[in-house]
Structure 1
Amino acid sequence: MTAIRFVGSALFLTAFLAVCAHSQADYGVDCSFPIHSKEFNCGNLLGDRKQIYEDFMEGCRKRYSTRASRCDSTEDDRIEMSLRQPQSMVNYTETGFKKIRAPNSVMDLLNAHWKRNRDGLYDREEIWPAGSIYVNHWESPTYMSAVEDTNTRGGGYALKKAVWDAVKPVVEAWTGMEQKPISMYGIRAYTEGAILSPHVDRLPLVSSCIINVDQDVDEDWPLEVYDRHDRAVNITMQPGDLVLYESGSLMHGRPFPLKGRFYANIFIHFEPTGRKLGDTSLEYLDELDDILPPYLLAGSPESDNWARKNPHGWSKPLPSAPIQQITSPEGHRAAAIGDLARLSKLAQTNRRALHAKDENGWQPLHEAVRADNKEAVELLIKHGANKDARVGKKGEGASALNLALDFLSVGADTVNYLMSIGAQNIEPDL
């Protein structure tokens, strides 16, 4: 029995009958949930999905009351990204997704961490930004046991690195590209009734995987993805299953409510460096664009959006580059690539460089935030960076948290950290 199947098969109907009582053949976008438009186009094929969606949005508006408009603006942004980003990305695989079993080495690490910390999980409810519509957290809260959290038993950066090191070869072999670790959310436990809006991940989350660590469910909670022809495919997962997916271009979500007590996943994200797997030369560096990262198509809708948000361009990888090659302004590049050793050295020898502004008013803190280098953000704040520092020549731009919410996916390590220390979400002045 295969767990990857097109909607409409007998197996899918058996597992999903309660939700899709009149399910027929396979369906495309804007049937289970808005993806390219808020206009549903499948009638009652999957039941009254329009009413379910309207109830979903109204739940967000009621939760945030005076800030209800953020629900709608975040939702509009989700749909705009689903239109703009997939057509702008380089595809490294034929299908964009694949399900395998996770390596024993990574499951040993995750299972040990989960067993040590599961009993205290419900003391760690996940904090979502005001107006976030990616999960209906106002109705079905999520809980997070971050592997790098030193407040958890056995947690810390060493564990996070070990998980990254165990998964990285799998992602590289699948994509055929050298990958740079970017972000890791984990372990998130969804609860009864949870809905995850279909979406693409914000860049630089490009090559990713989901691992199901544990679950207690009454029926499968399928991951809905869309193939290269915008047709829905549902993937079921059991503990130990790993789904590889090109998260920056592949629509993915869980639009049907979870039926069960919990569903615990970890999300691990990478960014292609532009170097093909097995290439031992540095010639690929000459082919990289000075502005756009290698996974964005020049002249595409997302390329203009990306260049506007990234005035300094893309931080090219510097394999084996000596530390003194980091360019001016001092501190900015170290923060952008997460060079903790360099930042620590600057804290001792040139502390001003840690808080210097460039011509656009960006500080190293903002570069670290944009790249989701949480450890660099922590280090900079520890050494005096203002957690609410704003960009702009006159400080009229976005705050660090506002940048994080704009550039990163909800639940990103840096977003959670800034919110945990009380950083303010200050939008740019009009």
Structure 2
Amino acid sequence: MRLIIIVLVAVAASDEGGYVPTGHGVDWSFPMHHASPPFSPGAAAYGEFLEGCAKAFSMKSCKATEEQRMEMNREQAKRQRNYTSLGFGRIRAPEAAYAPARAFWEAFRERASVETWPPGNTYTNNWAAASKMVSLEDGRFQPLGLRTKRAIWDGLKPTLEAWTGAKLKATSLYGIRVYSEGAVLNPHLDRLPLVTSAIMQIDQDVDEPWPIEVVGHDGRAYNVTLTPGDVALYESHTIIHGRPYPLKGQFFANIFVHFIPLDPTDDSKNDPGVDFAWGREQSTESRRDYPAPPPAAVSLAAADRAARASPWLGFPSVKGDAPVPAPATLAADRAARREAASKAKIAGPPTRATEHKFFVPGEAHYAAKMGDLAGVLDQVKAHPAAVNAPDENLWTPLHEAARAGVVGVVEALVQAGADLGARTISGATALFIARQHNHHPIVHYLESIGAPEIADDEL
């Protein structure tokens, strides 16, 4: 009788939330906090995984990344607020987000680019199963790419806000990642400011389901299987997630969408429950006594209602009636900006292993994106040219800081000589980016020093 009761509970969880308990916790399918037990199914597979990395790079670099990954898995979540009781769920994606993403995929799927990863990166087995990216920021895909990016953010935001009960700000959305046969995604936590997140399944050709394994706030591991049009909601800063079992099939295409909760008393600031200092200093005060999140079924039902209430109405008419390929003049302008900016690029340390971006920027970009003032000052002092060094999308640290919303970082970059008129691959200046993200203190500061405001070319 006892066994029957346990089975019934598992089935109820599966039917209600779209997930299946695995019956184990961390370190069983793959190392998460520490090495897996020798008798676990993940031990042998992980040994082969690490040997493959060592052959492609070096065992030293691979182990260094692994130590960082597992330390982050163990330590980051301890200092963060949880916004939902279980930390994840699965529903059908809002049409307002899935429809434009699928249309973008159909338009450019054949032009995906192979992703590049830093040496020793172990977040995927990129040395054995290369992943590709159809980047929403790729200059070849404009103006549709950036308009689709905004539509996805806008389409998913009400759903995630209903799920968490928090007001959110968009932080990261690169494009559609395409995994190939044999791919493995190492279980990890996302770096901050990736907090409230969604994985939207776009398309796939698989021989069998390829679930994402997540470790809920209850310490149990669950398998969440997605099909095209599904979306997994998850607190990516505290929920360990990965795909430790190799993909069996031709391809698996999904998109990662990230937000950060805002301070409920001041939406120009991030929620104080998101602790950016967890890796640098000990907490000097007690954790805030937050109210308990609602039951998982309640928060997921709220998200589902919001998703169903978000139809796709098409892009607003801005220039013409529908998105069209970028005019030749805009493409030429972008090419000229890219060529000029390439001369300013500098060599520097690779970005941290947790930086999931198609084009790998330098540490100054990473620090600016994180709102890390000390990190920005250190990088600019060590590499003065870094203040205006662009990544492959022509984003400088100032653009990243304008999006992140930390006034002190913007001021420091300006004082170090940041080019106020620098434009991204789509043509936007830092002031325009700050205004788009409603960072009013940064807008006021940049306006006060005469910064130009130039919009994206596609608007």
What interval of TM-score do these two structures reach, taking the shorter chain for normalisation?
0.5 to 0.7
User: Which residue pairs with 1:294 in the alignment?
Assistant: 272
Show CA shifts across 1:122-149 (max 9, x none). xx11111111100001100001001222
Which segments of 5 or more consecutive residues in structure 2 lack a partner in the other structure? 1-13, 283-335, 366-389, 396-459
Moved more, 75-84 or 414-423: 414-423
2:51 pairs, out of 53, 58, 66, with: 58
Q: Which residue of 2 aligns with 1:188?
A: 177
Shift of 1:405: 2.4
Q: 1:388 aligns with which of 346, 368, 371?
A: 346
What does residue 355 of structure 2 align with? 409
Counterpart in the other structure of 1:37: 34
Give the partner amino acid of 1:267. F
Contact 2:115–2:358 (CA under 8 A) maintained in structure 1 = no
Shift in Å, 1:152: 2.7
**C-alpha contact (below 8 Å) 1:82/1:199 kept by paired residues:** yes
> Residues 10-409 of structure 1: matches in 2 within 5 Å?
26-40=23-37, 43-44=39-40, 47=41, 49-64=42-57, 67-121=58-112, 124-152=113-141, 155-275=144-264, 282=266, 294-296=272-274, 303-306=277-280, 386-388=344-346, 399=348, 402=350, 404-405=351-352, 409=355
> Of the two structures, which has the highest relative contact order with CA contacts closer than 8 Å and spacing of 6 or more?
2
Q: Classify the secondary structure of the residue corresponding to 2:130.
A: coil
Offset, 1:153: 6.5
Distance 2:392 2:338 in 1: 16
Deviations 1:336-359 (A, max 9, x none): xxxxxxxxxxxxxxxxxxxxxxxx
Deviation at residue 80 of structure 1 after TM alignment? 0.3
Q: CA deviation at 1:384?
A: 9.5
- Change in 2 beyond 3 A, CA 1:238/1:154: farther
* SS of residue in 2 equivalent to 1:148: coil
**1:382 deviation in Å?**
6.5
> Given the superposition, is the C-alpha separation of residues 421 and 169 from structure 1 closer, same or farther in structure 2, using an over 3 Å criterion?
closer
SS across alignment from 1:31: coil
TM-score, normalising length from structure 1?
0.64
Relative distance call for 1:100 and 1:55 in structure 2 (3 A) is same
Residue pair 2:171, 2:260 contacting (<8 A) in 1 also: yes
Alpha-carbon distance in structure 1 between the residues aligned to 2:358 and 2:167? 22
Residues 96-105 or 207-216, more deviating: 96-105
Cα deviation, residue 388, structure 1:
3.0
Checking the alignment, whether the CA contact within 8 Å between 1:296 and 1:303 is kept in structure 2 is: no
Distance verdict in 2 for CA 1:37–1:379, change over 3 Å: farther
CA contact (8 A) 1:209 1:269 kept: yes
Report the Cα distance in structure 1 between the residues aligned to 2:241 and 2:222, rounded to whole angstroms.
10
Post-superposition CA distance 1:220-239 (Å, at most 9, x none) = 00110011232110000000
2:160 maps to a residue whose letter is V
> For the Cα contact (< 8 Å) 1:195–1:258, is it kept in 2?
yes
> Cα deviations across residues 288-340 of structure 1 (Å, max 9, x unaligned)?
7xxx961335xxxx7342569xxxxxxxxxxxxxxxxxxxxxxxxxxxxxxxx
How far apart are residue 72 of structure 1 and its match? 1.0
* Matched-pair identity in %: 38
Superposition deviation, residue 419 in structure 1? 6.7
Structure 1: tracts of 5 or more residues without a match: 8-25, 276-280, 309-377, 390-398, 424-430
Query: Is the 2:338–2:394 contact (alpha carbons within 8 Å) kept by the matching residues of 1?
Result: no
Please tell me the residue identity of whatever aligns with 1:32: S
User: Would you say how many aligned residue pairs link Structure 1 and Structure 2?
Assistant: 301
Provide the rounded CA distance (Å) in 2 between the counterparts of 1:380 and 1:240. Answer: 35
Looking at structure 2, the residues matched to 153 and 58 of structure 1 have their Cα atoms a distance apart, in angstroms, of 40
